Amino acid sequence: MKILVDVRKCVGQARCAEISPELFKLDDNGFNVTAVIQVPPGLEEQAREGANACPERVITIVEDETMKDSTQA
């Protein structure tokens, strides 16, 4: 799993780092400046919660396995 952060749209609310400081590193001004974060085993749930906590919705979770399309009937 990896995390993609659209760092240009981050507004520095630090919600992601509050949820998971191990995964989301902020700069001195509170902005998330790491565009691609590899998620170590065991931190997947924290990654999802951190992404969900971002009010700007600039964090995307990319699963490792082939993406399963649940929209297919």
Which residues contribute to the site for ligand SF4 (CB under 6 A)? 5, 10-16, 24, 26, 32, 54, 56, 58-59
Identity of the amino acid at 69: D
**4: its two tokens:** 């993609």
Is the CB of 32 or the CB of 46 nearer to ligand SF4?
32
Closest CB to ligand SF4 among residues 8, 68: 8
Contacts of 62 (CB under 8 A, 6+ apart): 1, 2, 3, 4
Question: What per-residue string of b and e applies to 61-72 under the rule 16 or more CB within 10 Å gives b?
Answer: eeeeeeeeeeee
Q: How far is the CB of 31 from ligand SF4 (least distance, A)?
A: 6
State the nearest-atom distance from the C-beta of 32 to ligand SF4, in Å: 4
Q: How far is the CB of 69 from ligand SF4 (least distance, A)?
A: 27
